[in-house]
Chains A and B, each alone.
Chain A
Amino acid sequence: MTLLKADNITMRFGGLTAVDSFKIEIEPGEIVGLIGPNGAGKTTVFNMITGIYTPTENRIYFQEEDITGLKPDRIAKMGIARTFQNIRLLDNLSVLDNVMIGTHLHLKSNLFSAIFRLPGYVKEENELYEKSRQLLKKVELDEYAGEKAGSLPYGKQRKLEIARALATEPRLLLLDEPAAGMNPQESKELVDFIRQIRDEFEVTVFLIEHDMKVVMEICERILVLDYGVTIAEGKPEEIKNNPEVIKAYLGVDVVNA
């Protein structure tokens, strides 16, 4: 079963076509990359999938269900989680709370039993706590559990954002430039980390990245966007040698030279 399917979706802002007829099919367990120069429309694609924007044309399907136009929290509930290009943590809350809020969407107890601490809620709360603790352990952030999320070093903040996304138990994980601002050593660790969570949490990963080293190493399939148009799709080696891609990134003269 195809996990995510976008059928020629188009996003227009007034006269500007940010994304034109974007087409993708992602199978469970894949790691797919989305690259392209600045302003190519990559984040717009993510925003359409996660419900921040509704595509102007055509529809998006997740596990064969139409998710076009649903609100972001509904889409998160269905199993799509994401991180943001500019980290969006809940800075003043603890690391543990950040992850626990990710589990809130699975809470079954109602408000009344939560306020009056009825046995059903207490049991659930304990489960959520254990689950979050486990998750922090798995991503090696356990020792920071009590610290404010905003006080973590940059690399750890990125990791925490991924952990928070994982807390929602997604089937599909969208990572928006996970290696941005990382040094080569951190990027290398990130590659291993993404592989590890793919296997351990059985998620499918769809990521935007500018660090070509990371993209080429980790992605099994890559799409290239330029001015909202998909100009290439294929395996990393194919993309590397595609003249269209080189033109988009480096300009036309380099190709002719």
Chain B
Amino acid sequence: MTRKKEQLLSFVALIVLAILTYLAQNYLDNYKLRILNLGAIYATLGVSLNLIFGFTGQFSLGHAGFMAIGAYTTALLIMPPMYKEMTFIIEPLIWPLNVLQLPFIVALLLGGLFAAILAILIGLPVLRLKGDYLGIATLGFAEIVRVIANNIPQVTNGALGLKGIPQYTNLWWTMGFAVLTVFIVKRLISSSYGRALMAIRENEIAAEAIGVNLTYHKVMSFTISAFFAGIGGGLLASLLTTIDPRAFMFIMTFNVLIVVVIGGLGSITGTVIAAFLFNFCLEYLRPIEEGFSLGPLSIPEVPGLRMVTFSLLLLVVILFKQNGLMGEIEFTWKGFFRFLSRFKANRPMKGEGM
């Protein structure tokens, strides 16, 4: 298949996705829309975490921290000044934030940008660490962000959080940014820079010996990852319309990490599939908590059973499919048609049988 043809197919697929988004946005109820929105946001978050963890091999647990920065930045920039006055009852919001109101897209991008700048600042010292130590340091960073958010009421309204954030987020925004993230990360990793990132993952000493500047590439990957985490945070803030520091505890990072691990470290396709699957499961496993009977066995109402089931599902995936759903395999048009032709080849055989 020629490159031109593949590009054409991708273009058609994008149009189909746009039509589906249009239909979903206009005809689905709010409940289903919310699940889809969350799925798309998790896709953005997951793909960005996959860039630093799956492709660059740097175990970062700081995603919730970057999300918090994006979320607070976006929220503070899109809330109308009147709302802010009403929300900040302990201490008034500092100038100029109390009078500022910007368009959603500008606020989102600024949120991503702040997260990215912070990523450069903490990445430079922290990315010298390896493996678990890097994980602990980045986890510490995320906790610091949360604790600070708790303790500067003149900016974040402290533990009370922000309420009444305008709900600009819709499926167009979440799907749009998911597609953009996938596009940029895919292009990055299939470029020469991406090969250098994977070289770092495979063997740092070898990568450095063949001229890969470790600091530059690690910080670059970390920064791009943080940028999209910040955007994801901003989208989330405007979807939920209320945020507080507790929303960005380490459990948030682990949710994204689960998505990446289930999807497959080093597979963008897997991450996107897992992102939607994760959110569908979270919702559709809810009935379990309401109590049910399994033949003679009746299970009473147990709040939180949903999460237990989810943990079991996760265990099964990790035990029987260590590389995640997709391993390192990516969706390609070539692979897609090969997959289809398998069915075509089967059909005449079935006909013969009958």
A107 in the interface (beta carbon within 8 A): yes
| B191 neighbours in A (Cβ, 8 Å) | 114-115, 117, 121, 125
A164 in the interface (beta carbon within 8 A): yes
- Specify which of B196, B206, B209, B213 lies most central, judged by the most chain A CB atoms within 10 Å of its CB: B209
- Specify which of A88, A121, A167 lies most central, judged by the most chain B CB atoms within 10 Å of its CB: A88
Q: In this complex, what residue of B is CB-closest to A115?
A: B187
Q: With A104-B192, A111-B193 in contact, is A73–B199 under 8 Å at CB?
A: no
Cβ–Cβ contact A115 & B184, under 8 A: yes
Cβ–Cβ contact B210 & A105, under 8 A: yes
Q: Name the contact of B214 in the complex, choosing from A73, A82, A117, A128 (C-beta under 8 A).
A: A73
* Chain B contact patch, size range: 20 to 34
Q: Name the contact of A116 in the complex, choosing from B187, B195, B202, B206 (C-beta under 8 A).
A: B187
Q: Considering the chains assembled together, what is the distance between the CA atoms of A71 and B207 in angstroms? A: 12
Q: In this complex, what residue of A is CB-closest to B195?
A: A101
Cβ–Cβ contact A105 & B195, under 8 A: no
Cβ–Cβ contact B208 & A73, under 8 A: yes
Q: With A90-B198, A93-B199 in contact, is A81–B209 under 8 Å at CB?
A: yes
Cβ–Cβ contact A73 & B188, under 8 A: no
Cβ–Cβ contact A100 & B192, under 8 A: yes
CB-CB contacts below 8 Å: A72-100 with B: 72-73, 76-77, 81-82, 84, 88-93, 97, 100
A156 to chain B, nearest CB (A): 17
- Specify which of A82, A103, A104, A128 lies most central, judged by the most chain B CB atoms within 10 Å of its CB: A104
B17 in the interface (beta carbon within 8 A): no
| B192 neighbours in A (Cβ, 8 Å) | 100, 103-104, 107, 109, 114, 124-125, 128
Q: In this complex, what residue of B is CB-closest to A82?
A: B209
Cβ–Cβ contact A90 & B203, under 8 A: yes
A22 to chain B, nearest CB (A): 20
Q: In this complex, what residue of A is CB-closest to B211?
A: A105
Q: Considering the chains assembled together, what is the distance between the CA atoms of A71 and B128 in angstroms? A: 14
Q: Considering the chains assembled together, what is the distance between the CA atoms of A77 and B210 in angstroms? A: 8
B220 in the interface (beta carbon within 8 A): yes
B24 in the interface (beta carbon within 8 A): no
| A164 neighbours in B (Cβ, 8 Å) | 210
Q: Considering the chains assembled together, what is the distance between the CA atoms of A52 and B213 in angstroms? A: 13
Q: Considering the chains assembled together, what is the distance between the CA atoms of A77 and B212 in angstroms? A: 9
Q: Name the contact of B209 in the complex, choosing from A76, A92, A115 (C-beta under 8 A).
A: A76
Q: Name the contact of B210 in the complex, choosing from A117, A125, A167 (C-beta under 8 A).
A: A167
Q: Name the contact of A117 in the complex, choosing from B187, B208, B209 (C-beta under 8 A).
A: B187
Cβ–Cβ contact B210 & A165, under 8 A: yes
A50 in the interface (beta carbon within 8 A): yes
B13 in the interface (beta carbon within 8 A): no
B205 in the interface (beta carbon within 8 A): yes
Q: Considering the chains assembled together, what is the distance between the CA atoms of A109 and B176 in angstroms? A: 28
Q: With A73-B211, A100-B192, A125-B191 in contact, is A90–B184 under 8 Å at CB?
A: no
Q: Considering the chains assembled together, what is the distance between the CA atoms of A93 and B184 in angstroms? A: 21
A102 in the interface (beta carbon within 8 A): yes
Cβ–Cβ contact A93 & B209, under 8 A: no
A43 in the interface (beta carbon within 8 A): no
| A114 neighbours in B (Cβ, 8 Å) | 187-188, 191-193
Q: Considering the chains assembled together, what is the distance between the CA atoms of A79 and B184 in angstroms? A: 33
Cβ–Cβ contact A73 & B212, under 8 A: yes
- Specify which of B191, B210, B213, B220 lies most central, judged by the most chain A CB atoms within 10 Å of its CB: B210
A168 in the interface (beta carbon within 8 A): yes
Instruction: Using A93-B198, A101-B210, A104-B211 as known contacts, list a sample of 16 further A-B pairs with CB atoms less than 8 Å apart, ordered by residue number in A.
Output: A50-B209, A72-B209, A73-B211, A88-B206, A91-B202, A101-B199, A101-B207, A104-B193, A104-B199, A104-B212, A109-B192, A114-B188, A114-B191, A117-B187, A165-B210, A167-B210
Task: Please list the residues of chain B having a beta carbon within 8 angstroms of any beta carbon in chain A.
Answer: 184, 187-188, 191-193, 195-196, 198-199, 202-203, 205-214, 220, 328
Task: Please list the residues of chain A having a beta carbon within 8 angstroms of any beta carbon in chain B.
Answer: 50, 52, 71-73, 76-77, 81-82, 84, 88-93, 97, 100-105, 107, 109, 111, 114-117, 121, 124-125, 128, 164-165, 167-168
Q: Which 10 A-B pairs have the closest CB atoms?
A: A105-B211, A76-B211, A90-B202, A88-B206, A114-B191, A72-B208, A101-B199, A73-B213, A115-B187, A102-B210
12 contacts between A and B (CB under 8 A): A71-B213, A72-B209, A73-B213, A76-B208, A88-B203, A88-B209, A93-B198, A105-B211, A105-B212, A109-B192, A111-B193, A168-B211
